[in-house]
Structure 1
Amino acid sequence: MNGKFAKAAALSALLTSPALAAQDSITLGMVLEPPNLDPTGGAAAAIDEIVYANIFEGLTRIGRDGSVRPGLAKSWDAENGGKSYLFHLREGVSFHDGNAFDAQDVIFSLDRARAAESTNAQKTLFEGIEKAEAVDPLTVRVTLKAPDGGFPFKMAWGDAVIVDEASVKDIATSPVGTGPFRFQDWAQGDHVSLVANDQYWGEKPAIKAATFRFIPDPSAAFAAMMSGDVDAFPIYPAPETLAQLQADPRFKVLVGTTEGETILAMNHARPPLELLKVREAIAHALNRQEIIDGAMFGYGTPIGTHFAPHNPDYVDLTAESAYDPERSKALLAEAGVKDLTLRLALPPPPYARRGGEIVAAELRAVGINTQIINMEWAQWLEQVFKNADYDLTIISHVEPMDIGIYARPGYYFNYGNPAFDKVMGLLDEATEPGERSRLLRQAQEILAGTYANGFLFQLAKTGVANAQIEGLWENAPMPANDLSEVRWTE
């Protein structure tokens, strides 16, 4: 081979080498494996972290800034003061199985979510619907029982995505949506893989293949990042190593906010937790900063109620339950409670396991013993969330604007408060922004004043990614790893 052709061959080999080839795939790490892939039938945030805005889409969607944006509805009109909504659907949209999307799919999805036999974890989102009807194949009118200024926001939840009746029977293991990515495979215990949807109605994603790997151990997560086995860990479980990763030019650290109110949940149906003084004693025993420092290595914002501090309607009520162990002891004595032992159920996330040890020590210091029970995620969902078989648990509630869960009958806190329920009812009917703000503030004050739970901190979103990756969400206004704008840079 002469020199000219040798140089050309070498240049060709260099340009097509894996090191210089354009990256069009990504591997993301996740702490928790979802119990299924049906966002309309499961409560685990890990489901939405894979499927939201990737596989499934709703009439509306939440953007990275927390705003409500068009989804499968390109626009909508509020009618009759918010008592009905007219959704104008996009043309030329198909499900991944080739079936065309139209108004009947919206009606089927909404009727299915609100049906008596529905297993939707957020069924209350749909309780206000009186009927959904097709004006024409691309227009749906949803009539509500009462005005609801927040209805477009409710339709942006992962629990409100539009599903295909033809494939819904297999949605838990082989989900079919309209999104920019199609489901490829699920190797349980290891990963879920997606591929780009070539027939997507919107802008095609730069990423052609995505793998979500399940790595629950913080040490293993760090090792996977360092070795390049994963390209990004959007919710990184080892904050103690963030400084090391930030100092490494191969990586960038993304620190943002979440909707995750991290709480010490109390089961009000378990004596003596039905007593206000006992709940207040527990709340005053909790040193929030010690928990944030010990469980989250300083990442997190103290909260005194079930509301995100970045929300403009947030009220700082941390003083209501300030750390005061002597007050805790006095309250327990006033309640006539001594030699108390409570079961503390801890799901797998590191914030719960590490935080649980600290909480147990703080409670022990005021005379409350705990029996720590470490649970796998499926066990926690079944025993604690579904059957309310627990005394205390630590969990982050990452659903957006979810203060209304305290008004749900039979919800796992078993918190029943007519005054709070009344405020939530008024909020559902309010469409004027100022009135909605007033009611939200009042609701926060009721929860803080009744010590509904031990409010710990707002979960920070600490993510790590290869420095060449752009487009990952920094904040988490919705449990999601939206890959539609993710790309590799040169």
Structure 2
Amino acid sequence: MGKIGLLLMIFGLLLGMIVGAQTVDKVVIGLSAPPRTMDPHGSDADSNLSIMSNIFEGLARRDVNGNLLPGLAVSWERVDPYTWRFYLRKGVKFHNGNDFTWEDVAFTFQRLKDPGVSEFLATGNLVKSVKPVDGNPWIIDIVTTRPVAWFVQNMHQIFIMDKESTEVRSQGEVASHPIGTGPYKFVEWIRGDHLTLVANEDYWGGPPPVKKVIFKEIVDSFTRLAAIETGTVDIIQDIPLELFDRAKANPNLLIVTRPARRGMFLGMKQTSDYPMHDVRVRKAIYMAINVQELIDKVMFGHASPAAQIADPPTVGYNPEIKRLPYDPEEAKRLLAEAGYPDGFSVTLKAPTDRYPRDEETAEAIAKQLAKVGIKVTVDAKPKAIYFPEVTHHDVELYYLGWFDGAYSAMRTFTKLVHSYDEEAGFGLFNAGDISDKLLDYLIEQSDTIVDPELYVEWSQMTNRIAFEWKVVYIPLFYLEDSYAVYKPSGIKFTPRPDTWMTIVDVIQP
């Protein structure tokens, strides 16, 4: 063999090694919350959306930093307050070989309206029509029933389904054998045990480097940690706070954390027959709570102070909003000024099994409020009982967490802050019965703003008025997302802000 031939052979071997190093045969992930269904519209829980994001795609997608990027649409624009125009991606195929067309988009939004299969009724009912523009099947207008400025921000979690195959299959088949356009194809789902996906080698975005993914259901915290300690799984979500030091001390584990998108806060009944109707009382409660003490002693340092509900990736997050200072003496003065020099009695409701150390946090808040004369009875109960009470507004003080799946502060405000109006879809989670004409006006007007920069400024202004002037809620802290990676696997892992395990984003070979 000549020198040139020998060099070519060596080059080929090296190239093969490099290419081989860029792929991973299999990754096993331990999930704390398993998927409920394989129907992308059947559950709006993040545990479900996380899995669906590997199999299905929306018109848009989010990257590992939460930025909105093109998905099944290559671009979009807002034509008028009611109309969003999308330019669809050509050459995309579903896993069964069917071509992706505008009719799949129209079918998807119509399906969202069906309460028998969809938990995205609110989004579905916002859509009036989906039609091609001037007969061009690759340019469509989605017309909404009312102006919705954040509509496109939600498109990463509205997954497009194949019209042809979905219409001819039973709902049971659709909910157990998904067919999408995403980077991974469905193999099998054994409820209570595992879900297996394989790489879609014909994916329009290129073959995924991780060739097989197994999601194992490991709900118990101790079992989940034991699984990664032994290398049974490569990655786990949600290291329990009580076991964090043990995980961190393990030399085979890489601990990855980031501030969670979920902001924890106190809601307050604000009708005229409750003390919290007075903004001075709301400020007093705010200033009587030592958030840093809650973070240090209750959350073991695994949280960060919040001055608003929106988190930094959310459109409308305002870095200029500052927390009111911890000042018990000022809190007492405000209470006296409001007519409650001896404080008052109130019940604080909280779940026992929804958030990390939720009941313990409620108990600690009660003790802090007692120091300024507010006598708190903690009523903690399982989430199956607690959340119906919240949605029925059967609360005085209540402990809740929130992040907006559409990354929009104004979308959050339509749910949490706007006066309750079931028919219009406003205030559906406004358990404290907030009713403020200025905030209602600002929220409603935000949807009519077409200019993106003005929309951001308007959202930030509204956010600041709500939390600094009106004190509609008492922000506490952002939780912390935590993961453990088994070091011998050699996997490089970067978490998304929404906690989704979208493999092409979070795992780098």
Per-residue deviation, residues 353-374 of structure 1 (Å, max 9, x unmatched): 4433433433344433233424
Partner of 1:32: 33
SS at match of 2:323: helix
CA shift at 1:304, angstroms? 1.6
The answer to whether the 8 A contact 2:443-2:462 is kept is yes
CA shift at 1:482, angstroms? 0.8
Change (3 A) 1:77 1:332: closer
**2:486 equivalent to 1:466:** yes
Select 1:432's aligned residue among 438, 444, 451: 451
Per-residue deviation, residues 49-94 of structure 1 (Å, max 9, x unmatched): 2222x02210111111222111112333554689431322332411
Select 1:411's aligned residue among 422, 425, 428: 428
Partner of 2:48: 47
Per-residue deviation, residues 374-408 of structure 1 (Å, max 9, x unmatched): 425x5555x25654444413324252224422323
Distance 1:155 1:125 in 2: 10
Matches within 5 A, 1:307-386: 307-309=310-312, 313-320=317-324, 322-332=325-335, 334=338, 336=340, 338-366=344-372, 367-376=374-383, 383-384=388-389, 386=391
CA shift at 1:155, angstroms? 1.5
The answer to whether the 8 A contact 1:469-1:487 is kept is no
Count of matched residue pairs:
459
Partner of 1:11: none
Change (3 A) 1:222 1:324: farther
Equivalent residue letter for 1:102:
T
Partner of 2:208: 205
The answer to whether the 8 A contact 1:426-1:439 is kept is no
SS at match of 1:484: helix
Matches within 5 A, 1:8-87: 24-52=25-53, 54-79=54-79, 83-87=83-87
TM-score by length of 1: 0.79
Distance 1:488 1:440 in 2: 35
Equivalent residue letter for 1:251:
L
Distance 1:345 1:365 in 2: 24
SS at match of 1:155: helix
Select 2:400's aligned residue among 391, 394, 398: 394
Distance 1:224 1:354 in 2: 28
Partner of 2:8: none
Q: For structure 1, which segment, 206-215 or 43-52, has the greater mean C-alpha deviation from structure 2 after superposition?
A: 206-215
The answer to whether the 8 A contact 2:76-2:85 is kept is yes
Q: For structure 1, which segment, 138-147 or 103-112, has the greater mean C-alpha deviation from structure 2 after superposition?
A: 138-147
Distance 2:28 2:65 in 1: 24
Distance 1:186 1:67 in 2: 31
Distance 2:275 2:29 in 1: 41
Change (3 A) 1:136 1:431: closer
CA shift at 1:121, angstroms? 5.5
TM-score by length of 2: 0.77
SS at match of 1:264: strand
SS at match of 1:350: coil
Change (3 A) 1:218 1:306: same
**2:258 equivalent to 1:252:** no
SS at match of 1:461: strand
Per-residue deviation, residues 218-237 of structure 1 (Å, max 9, x unmatched): 44443332222331124433
**2:221 equivalent to 1:222:** no
Per-residue deviation, residues 158-204 of structure 1 (Å, max 9, x unmatched): 1x221234158345554442222234444444444434345534322
Distance 2:213 2:296 in 1: 34
Partner of 1:110: 109
Distance 1:286 1:348 in 2: 22
Change (3 A) 1:112 1:174: same
Per-residue deviation, residues 415-462 of structure 1 (Å, max 9, x unmatched): 333322222223222233442232122221232132322211123333
The answer to whether the 8 A contact 1:473-1:482 is kept is no
**2:158 equivalent to 1:154:** no
SS at match of 2:367: helix
SS at match of 2:86: strand
Partner of 2:297: 294
Change (3 A) 1:80 1:272: closer
CA shift at 1:108, angstroms? 1.4
The answer to whether the 8 A contact 1:92-1:201 is kept is yes
Identical counterparts, % of pairs: 24
Change (3 A) 1:212 1:370: farther
The answer to whether the 8 A contact 1:38-1:172 is kept is yes
Change (3 A) 1:138 1:82: same
The answer to whether the 8 A contact 1:56-1:179 is kept is yes
Change (3 A) 1:224 1:370: farther
SS at match of 1:429: coil
Partner of 1:16: none
Change (3 A) 1:270 1:370: farther
Equivalent residue letter for 2:345:
D
The answer to whether the 8 A contact 1:236-1:463 is kept is yes
Q: Structure 2: which 5+ residue stretches go unaligned?
A: 1-20, 416-425
The answer to whether the 8 A contact 1:345-1:375 is kept is yes
